[in-house]
């Protein structure tokens, strides 16, 4: 009797398994949103937003804290203004909207760039991989997606940046008539909104329009009057934010600010630190192989003639700038919101750098070997494995499997009940134990043992009380 023929997987079966694996990997990040709660600035902005009319509060913020005209509207009218039950439901919906918007932005930009060289399905796959890759290597997943105040101020405009770039790509390809008018209107709305979300994105809007002008100068493309107006507008918007009187008030809290050498040095160190972390991430290594083989097969960037050294200098310089901005403003890196933004722009920039760097003839044999069917299957398998076994993907999976996220969710709900009951009884103090263990995947600035801290007092004020909330044992200095 002859030996049975070996069982082989058909390309269709492999494709279905890949899609299912990527969906499972993405669904885990969706499930995280079902367990998150407001914290820190979410509560303080909720309370502040309810103390006076919105327009009056926006003027107050501009003169007392910052000039963010767009994101301030969103944080002052955040979902918790709807009440606890309805507000929490909407609060947990926002991360899902941000995930979807980021995916859609990546897909729209892909289609704007490569619609003539790739299929719609390839664009959907590329957008999914880019979203998962970003979630995997993002320095702070909580501030990036799940903490409302940080997410709408930074990730929302980052996602919109993809749409704005897509608008200018389409406009550069001789859009006419209603299409041109619609694209210009969309670009205007996006630029004004994005520039008003954070100082970081105000700078990015300026740089994007500077890049548009530079590309038009190199290629002699569409008429330059409109891009020049957009560039001038973006500078005006950035100045309007930078010159807000509230920036001076906020700066008084950071005596180490505005030191050139300190900013340059620490911005450089953080650039080296994070770039080294990102490029050694297993998921990015595998995605890089998949990208260069796909680019070689489809000729995605074949018509782009960019000097590799120029791409590298611009990429590293942009990451340094985004690292340096918080050091200039505060003297410290502080939260990782701007680092998340740097990661967001680094990932496509890194792939572009690889495409330009691997054009030389000596790489042809290597790329040919990497593009073989067997190597592609192994690369996809390793990429999917990395999404589950290392980085944010591993931490999210463990939090879901061992119940840490569910434990955190239940603990915060119990805290809400305890605060409301204490207020109803007229108690003057409430002592609660901290929630332990906290989730691995999210950095949460929880309420602490100091009842005068704005995080504690804002939570109490949200429920209409004025008691002193202690979470954990007070330190000796507080007693």
- Placement of tokens 């499972």 in the chain: 24
Q: Which residues contact 201 (CB under 8 A, 6 or more apart)?
A: 154, 157, 158, 161, 194, 195, 341
CA–CA dist 100, 273 (Å, integer): 30
Give the Cα separation of 420 and 386 in Å (integer).
44
The residue count of the chain comes to 479
Say what the pLDDT of residue 375 is. 85
Average confidence (pLDDT) over 236-263: 88
Q: What are phi and psi of 431, to 5 degrees?
A: -110, 125
E strand or H helix at 388, and its extent? helix 373-389
- The CB density around residue 38, as the number of other CB atoms within 10 Å, is 23
Q: What's the pLDDT at 4? A: 56
* Count of other CB atoms within 10 angstroms of residue 36: 24
Give the angle 45-196-212 at the CA atoms, nearest 5°.
155
- H or E element, residue 107: helix 84-114
CA atoms within 13 A on the CB side of 103: 14
Burial of 194-209, coded b for 16+ CB within 10 Å and e otherwise, reads bbbbbbbbbbbbbebb
Higher pLDDT, 367 or 202: 202
Find out whether 306 and 219 touch, Cβ atoms under 8 Å: no
- Looking at beta carbons, which pairs linking 255-259 to residues 24 or more positions away fall under 8 Å? 255/331, 256/330, 256/331, 256/332, 257/328, 257/329, 257/330, 257/331, 258/328, 258/329, 259/331
- Per DSSP, the residues of 152-167 read IIIIHHHHHHHHHHHH
Q: State the helix-helix crossing angle for 156-171 and 199-219, rounded to 10 degrees.
A: 20
Q: Which SS3 state, helix, strand or coil, does residue 280 take? A: coil
Q: Do residues 199 and 329 lie in contact, with contact meaning Cβ atoms separated by under 8 Å?
A: yes
Quick one: pLDDT at residue 175?
67
The pTM assigned to this predicted structure is: 0.94
DSSP label of 83:
-
**Cα 335 to chain centroid, rounded:** 13
| pLDDT-wise least confident of 115-129, 349-363, 425-439 | 349-363
Task: Give residue 50's Cα distance to chain centre.
Answer: 28
In sign, the C-alpha dihedral spanning 97, 102, 105, 106 is negative
Of 208-217, 297-306, 355-364, 441-450, where does mean pLDDT reach its minimum? 355-364
Within a 10 A sphere around the Cβ of 27, how many other Cβ atoms? 11
Residues 374-392: what's their mean pLDDT? 93
Q: 204-213, 240-249, 426-435 — which is least confidently predicted?
A: 240-249
- What distance in Å separates the CA atoms of residue 79 and residue 96, rounded to the nearest whole number? 14
> What confidence tens digit (pLDDT) does each residue in 275-333 have?
999 999 999 999 999 999 999 889 999 888 888 999 999 999 999 999 999 998 888 88
Contact (Cβ atoms closer than 8 angstroms) between residue 132 and residue 25: yes
Contact 48, 76 (CB under 8 A): yes
Per-domain boundaries in the chain: 7-32+378-401, 33-377, 404-471
CA atoms within 13 A on the CB side of 379: 19
């Amino acid at each position: 009797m002859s030996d049975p023929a070996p069982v082989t997987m058909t390309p269709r079966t492999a494709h279905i398994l890949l899609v299912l694996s990527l969906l499972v990997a993405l669904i885990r990040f969706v499930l995280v949103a079902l367990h998150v709660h407001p914290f820190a600035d979410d509560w303080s902005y909720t309370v502040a937003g309810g103390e006076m009319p919105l327009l009056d509060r926006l003027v107050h913020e501009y003169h007392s804290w910052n000039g963010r005209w767009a994101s301030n509207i969103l944080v002052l009218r955040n979902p918790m203004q709807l009440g606890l039950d309805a507000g929490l439901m909407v609060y947990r919906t926002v991360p899902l909207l941000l995930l979807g918007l980021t995916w859609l932005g990546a897909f729209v930009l892909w289609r704007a760039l490569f619609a003539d060289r790739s299929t719609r399905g390839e664009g959907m796959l590329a957008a999914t991989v880019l979203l998962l890759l970003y979630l995997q290597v993002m320095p702070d997943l909580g501030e990036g997606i799940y903490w409302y105040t940080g997410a709408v101020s930074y990730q929302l405009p980052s996602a919109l940046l993809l749409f704005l770039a897509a608008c200018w790509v389409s406009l550069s390809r001789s859009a006419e008539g209603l299409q041109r008018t619609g694209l210009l209107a969309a670009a205007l709305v996006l630029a004004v909104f994005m520039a008003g979300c954070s100082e970081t994105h105000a700078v990015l809007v300026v740089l994007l329009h500077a890049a548009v002008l530079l590309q038009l100068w190199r290629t002699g493309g569409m008429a330059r009057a409109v891009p020049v107006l957009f560039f001038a507008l973006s500078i005006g918007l950035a100045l309007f934010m930078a010159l807000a009187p509230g920036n001076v008030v906020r700066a008084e809290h950071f005596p180490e600010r505005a030191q050139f050498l300190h900013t340059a040095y620490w911005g450089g160190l953080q650039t080296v630190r994070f770039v080294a972390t990102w490029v050694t991430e297993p998921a990015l290594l595998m995605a890089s192989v998949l990208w260069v083989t796909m680019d070689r097969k489809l000729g995605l960037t074949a018509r782009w003639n960019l000097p590799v050294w120029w791409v590298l200098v611009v990429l590293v310089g942009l990451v340094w700038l985004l690292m340096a901005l918080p050091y200039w403003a505060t003297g410290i890196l502080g939260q990782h919101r701007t680092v998340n933004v740097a990661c967001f722009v680094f990932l496509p920039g890194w792939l572009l750098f690889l495409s330009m760097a691997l054009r030389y003839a000596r790489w042809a044999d290597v790329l040919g070997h990497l593009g073989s069917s067997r190597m592609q299957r192994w690369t996809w398998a390793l990429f999917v494995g990395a999404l589950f076994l290392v980085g944010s993907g591993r931490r999210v999976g463990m939090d879901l499997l061992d119940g840490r996220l569910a434990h955190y969710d239940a603990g915060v709900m119990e805290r809400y009940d305890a605060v409301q009951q204490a207020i109803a009884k007229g108690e003057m103090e409430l002592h609660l134990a901290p929630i332990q263990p906290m989730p691995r995947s999210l950095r949460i600035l929880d309420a602490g043992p100091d009842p005068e801290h704005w995080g504690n007092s804002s939570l109490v004020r949200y429920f209409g009380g004025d008691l002193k909330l202690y979470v954990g044992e007070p330190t000796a200095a507080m007693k």
